[in-house]
Structure 1
Amino acid sequence: MQPQIKTLLSQLKPHFVFFDFAQDWLPQLSSELGIKTIFFSVFTALSTAYVTVPVRLRLTGDKNTPTIEDMKIPPPGFPHATSKTGTSLQTFQARDLLYVFKSFHGGSSVDDRVLTCLKGCSAILAKTCKDMEAPYIDFVKTQFDKPVLLCGPVILESPSGVLEDRWATWLGQFPSKSVIFCSFGSETFLKDDQIKELVLGLELTDLPFCVVLKFPANVDSHVELIRALPEGFLERVKGKGMVHAGWVQQQHILAHNSVGCYLCHAGFSSVIEALVNDCQLVMLSQKGDQFLNSKLMSEDLKAGVEVNRRDEDGHFGKEDICMATKTVMVEVEKEPGKTIRANQKKWREFLLNKEIQNKFVTDLVGDMKAMA
């Protein structure tokens, strides 16, 4: 691929090339042609600041990779935006993040690739903003001594088409903002015990709910779903709860007037989608940067709530699901639910402000022109 890209760039002679960490060789190639490169980060500034900065590896001493204990604490100089103790991770979260530093089949680790990109590029572009992540943006800028450009959180366009009749009919029977919608992205397969505790916890809320689960491609999703659910569960919640295996029109569902809460994995796009659609945010993060996205929303911005988890293995019980959900859906006049709902409203208005969104684009174009 590299020879073809080099030929193409030589012919086009662009001012900039945007790239991600899969092309860690691009900065060197582009530099030889006198072309600037902009690394587009799909992660929040908090995630980059916590995990993939040069100072992180200095903690390891003579070790090649960090330990679990290393990853539980932030790197030296890390900003403590709102918490007196600063951002930190639980044991199970830190253990999961070690994959970033693991070399597969003798090749480069994810951290190797990302650091090569961040060190070699002309500038870093992140889909965030100073309003949400100023301390972490400044820390990343200092760590790599180069511009950090911002395009703001990406707001999806309204989906085309309409919601399927079966979903519209089911959701339409419930009051405004009363339904809990729950999904975990396309790459997460919950374990049997997690499925059981999740659905039992939602049942305990006594609120209407819809759960969407994914299963591996090589299994019968319907059979697996029935097997994983508690005995008699579907009959017990009939009319008030729905559990579905497979794809759904997520954007349409979140935009439905009856949906008032989104329990999700804390992928940053899903988090923004929840805020924009006026859904209360309950986060049950599963891996990687999701843990830090959840910290950003619950601790820094205080616009959502994390489900309580056991430190060693991340176990959660039905009571943890119920408590987190009720915090933002039932106990709305008590703290912390009252503050969380107020902040959710504030950030929704911010994200939907067209003047602010347009300024993100205008400022980005201006910064790039100044670099050209």
Structure 2
Amino acid sequence: MAASNKEQSKLHIAMFPWFAYGHINPFIQLSNKLSSHGIQISFFSIPGNIDRIKSSLNLSPPNQLIPLTIPPTEGLSPNFDSSSEVTPQTAQLLTLALDQMQPQVKALLPQLQPQVILFDFAYHWLPSVASELGIKAVHFNTFPAVINSYLTVPSRMTDPNKPPTFEDLKNPPQGYPKTSTASVKTFEAQDYLFLFKSFDGGPCHFEKILAFTNSCDAILYRTCNEIEGPFIDYFKTQINKPLLLAGPSVPLPPSGELDEKWEMWLGKFPEKSVIYCSFGSETYLNDAQIQELTLGLELTGLPFILVLNFGTSNSTDAHNKLEASLPEGFRERIKDRGVLHTGWVQQQNILAHRSIGCFLTHAGFSSVIEGIVNDCQLAFLPLKADQFMIAKLFSGDLKAGVEVNRRDEDGSFAKEDIFEAIKTIMVDTDKEPSRSIRENHSNWRKFLMNKEIEASYIANLAHELKALVQKA
């Protein structure tokens, strides 16, 4: 039966996020915001994520949530089905499994008939599938523009037969903006090398990114000109296609009440006095880093919550690894003012509590935004790729936080480095640079909390996506 004119005019978007929650959540947020503009959403993920996604995604008809079957993959457990089990090792295997999902996705899309696909980095093959089916493919980049403009632009690899060395990666590509992000340490450049290595004998990550950048119909960033203007402008010079912006992607206020155990513990401390320290679900510290971090938190004399993950979904294993990594006598010394936790926590609810004054974070983009809107001073301890650049952006360019000092060669840090970073924003509040950081932080919070700005970005994005479909 032919669709009515009204049905044909309604935009239908299929969402394909990578399977980890740091990627899923931005896709959920954008889906919900686009739904408010009458856009239909079909959202794809693996079975183990479905229930958790249901709790956040607007599934009012005709929106739908569609599970993808994970094909058998050597090295990946047959029972694997959830992003909570994604470790650095399983992530590589899961990308191989995702490549094998191409036939089932190709079979589903003609049935669903979306006009647009928004895809994450791991779906590097989706633009060609979409092109065959007459569907527009838009790469929704969950990383900020600052990291892609530095690393994954055509000007980064001048000789296709000679990948860049870490010395090359210490320097920005030609024409890159003159900002604090252009200063890269040795250990950071070493980390960036993974983009130029092949893990399965096929193209490296850089080649895959460049391929889908060239073949997709548009690129979408969850950012705004006010925060990343110079990097957005530079990236535009590197691509010959539309670059769309979704705005700063401010999360909705946390739903539900904070668990009683956290409410009771946090309620014991004065307003803005507690440090909350967490590194997300996919960033793990080694034992040496945990030792210095915990001792640094102890040095501050301030109450704190420290959340650590160890790449395992088994709570007993995680607890044992935590205990083995702690300094001797640490628990006894901090028992009245420190809490150690492994696994998931109500991060937004905790950050929103009146007693939280500082967020020591890995500098994941979502975490940074959550920290600012909840009025928590920011200390950054980035540990990989995009986190390095985000920390430089917010501490160096925007001067809205402070980064923990690290050694150039290996990225090591001492307890004193943790102490000094937190002291700057939590103790020396009447001195510079703390006063300037707090003022800038406050200004950016006002900007992010301005609902009219975000609404304008989303309305414009909805209009541009509809125009993209109508374009011949």
TM bucket (normalised to shorter chain) is over 0.9
In the alignment, structure 1 segments of 5+ residues that lack a partner are none
Between the aligned residues of both structures, percent identity stands at 56
The answer to whether 1:262 aligns with 2:359 is yes
1:178-227 deviation digits (Å, cap 9, x = unpaired): 10000111122211121111111111112111111112426633333222
AA of the residue aligned to 2:407:
R
The answer to whether 1:172 aligns with 2:172 is no
Residue 10 of structure 1: how far off its partner (Å): 4.3
1:233-263 deviation digits (Å, cap 9, x = unpaired): 2211221122223332212111111001100
CA contact (8 A) 2:119 2:139 kept: yes
The answer to whether 1:102 aligns with 2:197 is yes
Q: State the partner residue of 1:343.
A: 440
- Comparing 25-34 with 167-176, which one deviates more in the overlay? 25-34
The equivalent position to 1:67 in structure 2, one of 160, 165, 172, is: 165
Question: Aligned with 1:355: secondary structure?
Answer: helix
Q: How does 1:80-159 map to 2 (within 5 A)?
A: 80-81=178-179, 83=180, 87-159=182-254
1:7-45 deviation digits (Å, cap 9, x = unpaired): 544455543221122222222333344432211111110
CA contact (8 A) 1:302 1:343 kept: yes
Residue 147 of structure 1: how far off its partner (Å): 1.3
CA contact (8 A) 2:267 2:355 kept: yes
CA contact (8 A) 2:282 2:311 kept: no
**TM-score normalised per structure 2:** 0.74
Residue 4 of structure 1: how far off its partner (Å): 4.7
Assess, with a 3 A threshold, how the Cα gap between structure 1 residues 4 and 318 changes in structure 2: closer, same or farther: closer
Q: State the partner residue of 1:334.
A: 431
Q: How does 1:247-258 map to 2 (within 5 A)?
A: 247-258=344-355
The equivalent position to 1:46 in structure 2, one of 146, 150, 156, is: 146
Question: Aligned with 2:128: secondary structure?
Answer: helix
Residue 175 of structure 1: how far off its partner (Å): 0.7
CA contact (8 A) 2:166 2:189 kept: yes
Q: How does 1:196-345 map to 2 (within 5 A)?
A: 196-217=291-312, 220-345=317-442
- Aligned equivalents of 2:465 and 2:356: distance in 1? 40
1:29-86 deviation digits (Å, cap 9, x = unpaired): 333444322111111100110010000001xx475321110111111111124x4xx6
1:287-345 deviation digits (Å, cap 9, x = unpaired): 11111111111111111111000011100001100111111111122222111111111
Assess, with a 3 A threshold, how the Cα gap between structure 1 residues 62 and 163 changes in structure 2: closer, same or farther: closer
- Aligned equivalents of 1:33 and 1:63: distance in 2? 34
Larger relative contact order (Cα-Cα within 8 Å, sequence gap ≥ 6):
1
- Comparing 309-318 with 246-255, which one deviates more in the overlay? 246-255
Q: State the partner residue of 1:23.
A: 123
Question: Aligned with 2:219: secondary structure?
Answer: strand
Q: How does 1:347-366 map to 2 (within 5 A)?
A: 347-366=444-463
- Aligned equivalents of 2:273 and 2:425: distance in 1? 11
Assess, with a 3 A threshold, how the Cα gap between structure 1 residues 145 and 233 changes in structure 2: closer, same or farther: same
Residue 140 of structure 1: how far off its partner (Å): 1.0
- Aligned equivalents of 1:225 and 1:6: distance in 2? 43
Residue 105 of structure 1: how far off its partner (Å): 1.9
- Aligned equivalents of 1:229 and 1:265: distance in 2? 19
- Aligned equivalents of 2:306 and 2:451: distance in 1? 32
- Aligned equivalents of 1:224 and 1:2: distance in 2? 37
Assess, with a 3 A threshold, how the Cα gap between structure 1 residues 31 and 277 changes in structure 2: closer, same or farther: same
The equivalent position to 2:290 in structure 1, one of 182, 195, 203, is: 195
Q: State the partner residue of 1:77.
A: 175
Aligned Cα RMSD in Å? 1.8
Q: State the partner residue of 2:41.
A: none
AA of the residue aligned to 1:245:
T
- Aligned equivalents of 2:113 and 2:342: distance in 1? 48
Assess, with a 3 A threshold, how the Cα gap between structure 1 residues 135 and 216 changes in structure 2: closer, same or farther: closer
CA contact (8 A) 1:87 1:295 kept: no
- Aligned equivalents of 1:362 and 1:320: distance in 2? 44
